């Protein structure tokens, strides 16, 4: 399976000119790379600046659950598709924490994105790794977020595992801990077993699982040896073209 690397720019950069320069730099330096699917997720207002390139796909950082209506400030699946967007991030830990997104809300967004033909990158992950419950927490997120999703629609599903306690930009938990490769393999295996119960055997084997816990070039190279890992959801490091390209080239 081709590895997937998603650059989540979050609320960056500050201007359209900076966004164009960053996109152009990544495109020029990765256009010969064939073994990775590279996806750029800029803020919504920058999406119209970028045309889909042969080696770069576009993603939205969020999506609404309806294609039209009186929903001030929201962006619909149809709007994203009209801009050539093929992917969308749903349920990111920062939206869960800072914007109060619930599993019920995320479930509606997942179904809307998949129903529109977008590839939905569903983010799940525990806030702390202690005791026996952190596995069950992720399983319950998956069950609630994927409730009512058909096995056919799930062909466009991608899971991004975000251990919140290991994300360097998180202000509410300690960040001096790192996920070890063995721990990542354990969680990937657990996620696939959960998908088996929720969506069946085909989804359990086919669904790409990405790692999204503060990925850098060095950690990417280390994690690539973990069985069952299909790529990365990259946050802060994606704002440096050089660092992001090092991550891609590690593949």
DSSP string, 99-163: S---HHHHHHHHHHHHHTTPEEEEEE--S---TTHHHHHHHHHHHHHTTT--TTGGGGEEEEE--
* 203-234 pLDDT, tens digit each: 999 999 999 988 888 889 889 889 999 999 99
The Cα 160–Cα 166 span in angstroms is 14
- Among 101, 128, 162, 222, the one annotated catalytic: 162
Q: Output the pLDDT for position 251.
A: 85
The percentage of the chain sitting over the pLDDT mark of 90, rounded to a whole number, equals 76
Domains and CATH numbers, the chain: 3-250 (3.20.20.70)
236 in catalytic set? no
92 in catalytic set? yes
* 74-133 pLDDT, tens digit each: 999 999 999 999 999 999 999 999 999 999 999 999 999 999 999 999 999 998 776 567
Q: Output the pLDDT for position 173.
A: 39
**Which pTM was predicted?**
0.94
- Among 74, 92, 97, 135, the one annotated catalytic: 92
Q: Output the pLDDT for position 161.
A: 97
Q: Output the pLDDT for position 132.
A: 63
**Burial status of residue 92 (CB atoms within 10 A of its CB: 0-12, 13-18, 19 or more):** buried
């Amino acid at each position: 399976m081709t590895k997937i690397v998603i650059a989540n720019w979050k609320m960056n950069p500050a201007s359209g000119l900076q966004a164009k320069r960053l996109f152009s730099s990544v495109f020029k330096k990765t256009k010969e790379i064939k073994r990775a699917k590279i996806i750029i997720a800029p803020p919504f207002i920058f999406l119209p600046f970028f045309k889909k390139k042969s080696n770069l796909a576009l993603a939205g950082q969020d999506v609404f659950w309806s294609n039209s209506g009186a929903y001030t400030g929201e962006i619909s699946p149809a709007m994203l598709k009209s801009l050539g967007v093929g992917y969308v991030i749903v349920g990111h830990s920062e939206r869960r924490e800072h914007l109060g997104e619930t599993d019920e809300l995320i479930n509606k967004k997942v179904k809307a994105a998949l129903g529109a033909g977008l590839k939905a990158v569903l983010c799940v992950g525990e806030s702390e790794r202690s005791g026996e419950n952190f596995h069950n927490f992720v399983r319950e997120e998956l069950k609630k977020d994927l409730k009512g999703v058909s096995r056919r629609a799930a062909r466009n599903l991608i899971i991004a595992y975000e251990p919140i306690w290991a994300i360097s930009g998180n202000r509410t938990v300690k960040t001096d801990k790192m996920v070890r490769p063995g721990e990542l393999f354990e969680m990937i295996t657990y996620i696939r077993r959960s998908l088996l119960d929720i969506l069946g055997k085909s989804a359990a084997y086919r669904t790409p699982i990405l790692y999204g816990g503060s990925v850098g070039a060095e950690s990417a190279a280390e994690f690539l040896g973990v069985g069952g890992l299909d790529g990365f959801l990259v946050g802060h490091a994606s704002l440096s073209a050089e660092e992001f390209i090092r991550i891609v080239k590690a593949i």
